[in-house]
Amino acid sequence: MVLLALACAAVLLSTTALAVVVPDEARAGLIVYGVCLIASLALFSIALLALLGISDRPSAVTLPLGIPWLGAHFRLDALSAFFLAVVNLGAAAASLFALGYGRHEDAPRRVLPFYPAFLAGMSIVVLADDAFTFLVSWEFMSLSSWALVMAHHRVGDNVRAGYVYLIMASFGTLALLLTFGLLAGADGGYAFADIRGAHPSTAVATSILILALIGAGSKAGLVPLHVWLPLAHPAAPSHVSALMSGVMTKVAVYGFVRIAFDLIGTPAWWWSMVVLALGGITAVMGVLYALMQHDLKRLLAYHTVENIGIIFIGLGLALAFKAHGMAWAAALALTAGLLHVFNHSIFKSLLFFGAGAVLTSTGERDMEHLGGLIHRMPQTAFVFLVGCAAISALPPLNGFVSEWLTFQAILLSPQLPSWGLKLLVPAVGALLALSAALAAACFVKAFGVTFLGRARTPAAERARETDRFSLAAMFFFAALCLVAGILPGFFIDALAPVTEGLVGDRMPVQGSVDWLSIVPIAESRSSYNGLLVFTFMVLSGALAAWAIHRLASDKLRRAPPWDCGYPDANPATQYTASSFAQPIRRVFGTVVFHAREHVEIPPPGDGRPARLTVELRDPVWDALYAPIAGGIAFAADRLNHLQFLTIRQFLSLVFAALVLLLLVLAIWP
């Protein structure tokens, strides 16, 4: 099984060469995205077979690659299979989308060679079974995605985005390198099987966890390590943005889960506090940042930060329950987190596809220049609306199910004995509730300003519906949002082998519950039936429509808008993204972002327009990154003097360095 998966990854890798060789650019695109689609679908079916237990599992293989005495270990267990499925479902849809979207690319050769390499890198990371292979493929994934971010390097701020991404990715990999070094110990093996056998002391294990949080968290976008994400994700072409936001952040979550739940051994109870607090802060900060944006793709990227926070809340709860030996509750919390991994990969990819469709048909990412697209792009508008409703956790779609499960897990936590958690978990619950409500506000803004109202620019006026490949990919994911929302039991059951492997228990079987409800603990405690809620909504809505049209009136007349008698034909009088967010900016932004509004009103008789300027500060950048960047610049300035030394000074410097090294060697025990 794992060999078959590796063969598919090899096919993806060789496609990279194909992209360079094929002379015709349009044909190269067709071939590359076509092969990627097929290979991803093959990998997805392999992962699904392994996850559902149809094939034997776990299957492992060691290939004579990499370091000679180590070789390259690969293994497909339930956890790998789940993430392999998530990665390749997203990859398949992105390839389908790109079959249409890629044709609008100005310089396709900047994208085509790196795209399959990126896909292959992500798949190999989740298959890797030793530290060396993991790190190499992780870095491969980072670098190929960096190349994709730099595809449009002449546009706007993209070079800076690529620079920040490169630094943060290297920093994250460094942290992971140290993590695996500590995990393996001074003379331990680097295969994951050996690492599982080594039991690090508590102090070492704690450092491992912190380093893993930094390494995986910087890739996933945990606050305060998220700074690169809203720069880099929007800079890439939209199908790659979808993959980076929807899928690559999930590979980072995989890295954390693999280390924290599998490799490290039994967790200490207070680790979960760190994870929970980070998750809660990330969720709220991510959505608040998103609310302040008016660039559609950047807004979506900040929302990824929020959802990563929600996922880490689930993981933190699972760690807490696991540390206290409540395996059944840990299974519920972990299932909630992993289900949100799946759900988020679906609707976030869908939303980025939609943003890409808007971008190709209008050339605009700034919502302030859009509006009224629902008339010009009705199908894109519909699927984007489904994605917005799903990510806002509205029933009966899928985002609600995973948040509902997370709330159920939170309600189990008073049974935890430790006081720290007793005080922290309600606060995290409040943060989760706050982020869910703010997310809904944010997506009312995103959809309302982009698709509703009147066109604000001629570009938005001239928009056309996007191509069929893009629409097919989007409709597929929109349908999946509904299916996963109304039949969540099957998706929860599919996660059972993963939780059994990691926390030693599973949620009760959901597939056999009456009426396809989900019952996480007991029916008297809580249950939810998306299918029935959906059916009731459709029935009552249809009943109302039928009754009114039949018995009362179905007449309709078009007229100018009413607007309390003062309609203004100028589309600039509409609410914009910034004005829509103004009340929330006043409530939350003044505290978090030091938001200040300056109004300049010219004196009477002066014909100039009044101006409103809003000033926002990024607290994380100001508190953490600006001092570091300043310190590095300062040190570099000082060290600059070394450039202008005389030859004698250089020689004495070399001599001093030699003496120092010899001294260290002599004193070293």
Partner 1 sequence: MAVIFDFGVQGAQMLLVLLLAPLLTGFTRKVKARLLLRRGPPLVQPYRDLVRLMRKEVVLADNASWLFRVNPYLIFAATWVAASLVPTFRTGLLFSWSADLIAIVALLGSARFFLALAGLDVGTSFGGIGSSREVMIASLAEPAMIMIIFTLALIAGSTQLSTMAGFLVSSAVGLRVSLGLALLALIMVAIAENARIPVDNPATHLELTMVHEAMVLEYSGRHLALIELSASLKLLLYISLIACLFVPWGLVPSGAGLGLLAIGLVAYIAKLIVAGALLALFETSIAKMRVFRVPEFLGAALMLGLLATLLLFVSRSL
Q: Closer to partner 1 at the Cβ: 158 or 408?
A: 408
- Binding residues among 454-493 for partner 1 as defined by CB under 8 A: 454
Q: Closer to partner 1 at the Cβ: 432 or 480?
A: 432
Segment contacting partner 1 (CB under 8 A): 152-160, 322-330, 452-460, 497-505? 452-460
- Binding residues among 91-110 for partner 1 as defined by CB under 8 A: none
Can you tell me the distance from the alpha carbon of 300 to that of 443, in angstroms, rounded to the nearest whole number?
9
Please choose, from the candidates 241, 534, 541, the residue with its C-alpha nearest in 3D space to the C-alpha of residue 389. Answer: 534
Q: What's the DSSP call for residue 609?
A: P
Q: How far is the CB of 401 from partner 1 (least distance, A)?
A: 10
As beta bridge partners, residue 33 has none
Query: Would you count residue 375 as binding partner 1 (CB under 8 A)?
Result: yes
Taking the mean position of all CA atoms in its chain, how far away is CA 187? 36
Please choose, from the candidates 259, 452, 412, 264, the residue with its C-alpha nearest in 3D space to the C-alpha of residue 326. Answer: 412
Q: Closer to partner 1 at the Cβ: 25 or 461?
A: 461
Q: How far is the CB of 119 from partner 1 (least distance, A)?
A: 34
Query: Would you count residue 389 as binding partner 1 (CB under 8 A)?
Result: yes
Query: Would you count residue 610 as binding partner 1 (CB under 8 A)?
Result: no
- Binding residues among 404-443 for partner 1 as defined by CB under 8 A: 404, 407-408, 410-411, 413-414, 422-423, 425-427, 429-430, 433-434, 436-438, 440-441, 443
Please say whether the beta carbons of 186 and 194 come within 8 A. no
Q: Closer to partner 1 at the Cβ: 221 or 399?
A: 399
CB atoms within 10 A of CB 545: 11
Segment contacting partner 1 (CB under 8 A): 91-99, 173-181, 322-330, 544-552? 544-552
Please choose, from the candidates 481, 442, 457, 448, the residue with its C-alpha nearest in 3D space to the C-alpha of residue 584. Answer: 442
Query: Would you count residue 316 as binding partner 1 (CB under 8 A)?
Result: no
What is the widest separation between alpha-carbon atoms in the chain?
102
Q: How far is the CB of 517 from partner 1 (least distance, A)?
A: 7
Please say whether the beta carbons of 225 and 168 come within 8 A. yes
SS3 340: helix
Please choose, from the candidates 300, 317, 310, the residue with its C-alpha nearest in 3D space to the C-alpha of residue 339. Answer: 310
Can you tell me the distance from the alpha carbon of 646 to that of 638, in angstroms, rounded to the nearest whole number?
17
Sequence letter at residue 347: F
Query: Would you count residue 608 as binding partner 1 (CB under 8 A)?
Result: no
Query: Would you count residue 449 as binding partner 1 (CB under 8 A)?
Result: yes
Q: Closer to partner 1 at the Cβ: 201 or 512?
A: 512
Sign of the Cα torsion 73, 79, 80, 81 reads positive
- Binding residues among 552-591 for partner 1 as defined by CB under 8 A: 552-553, 555-564, 567-568, 571, 573-575, 579-584, 586-587
Joined together, the tokens standing for residue 136 give 């190499």
Please choose, from the candidates 267, 343, 314, the residue with its C-alpha nearest in 3D space to the C-alpha of residue 409. Answer: 314
Q: Closer to partner 1 at the Cβ: 206 or 517?
A: 517
Q: What's the DSSP call for residue 210?
A: H
Can you tell me the distance from the alpha carbon of 434 to that of 430, in angstroms, rounded to the nearest whole number?
6
Query: Would you count residue 545 as binding partner 1 (CB under 8 A)?
Result: yes
User: φ, ψ for residue 335 (rounded to 5)?
Assistant: -60, -40
Q: How far is the CB of 612 from partner 1 (least distance, A)?
A: 15
| CA-to-CA separations, 469 to 34, 476, 519, 565, in angstroms, rounded | 11, 11, 38, 44
Sequence letter at residue 328: W
Contact pick of 544, 633, 645, 653 for partner 1 (by CB under 8 A): 544
Q: How far is the CB of 499 from partner 1 (least distance, A)?
A: 22
Query: Would you count residue 393 as binding partner 1 (CB under 8 A)?
Result: yes
Q: Closer to partner 1 at the Cβ: 363 or 395?
A: 395
Residues in the chain: 669
In terms of C-beta density within 10 A (0-12 exposed, 13-18 middle, 19 or more buried), how is residue 137 classed? buried
Q: How far is the CB of 440 from partner 1 (least distance, A)?
A: 6
Query: Would you count residue 652 as binding partner 1 (CB under 8 A)?
Result: no
Q: How far is the CB of 534 from partner 1 (least distance, A)?
A: 10
Q: How far is the CB of 408 from partner 1 (least distance, A)?
A: 7
Query: Would you count residue 18 as binding partner 1 (CB under 8 A)?
Result: no
Peptide bond just before 224 cis, omega within 30 deg: yes
Contact pick of 467, 526, 614, 620 for partner 1 (by CB under 8 A): 526
- Binding residues among 232-291 for partner 1 as defined by CB under 8 A: none
Can you tell me the distance from the alpha carbon of 470 to that of 476, in angstroms, rounded to the nearest whole number?
10
Segment contacting partner 1 (CB under 8 A): 99-107, 157-165, 469-477, 527-535? 527-535
Alpha helices in 262-326 (DSSP H): 271-291, 296-323
Query: Would you count residue 400 as binding partner 1 (CB under 8 A)?
Result: yes
Please count the residues of this chain forming the interface with partner 1, following the rule CB under 8 A: 89
Q: How far is the CB of 391 from partner 1 (least distance, A)?
A: 11
Query: Would you count residue 379 as binding partner 1 (CB under 8 A)?
Result: no
The single residue listed with the structure tokens 């289900």 is 339
Q: Closer to partner 1 at the Cβ: 55 or 527?
A: 527
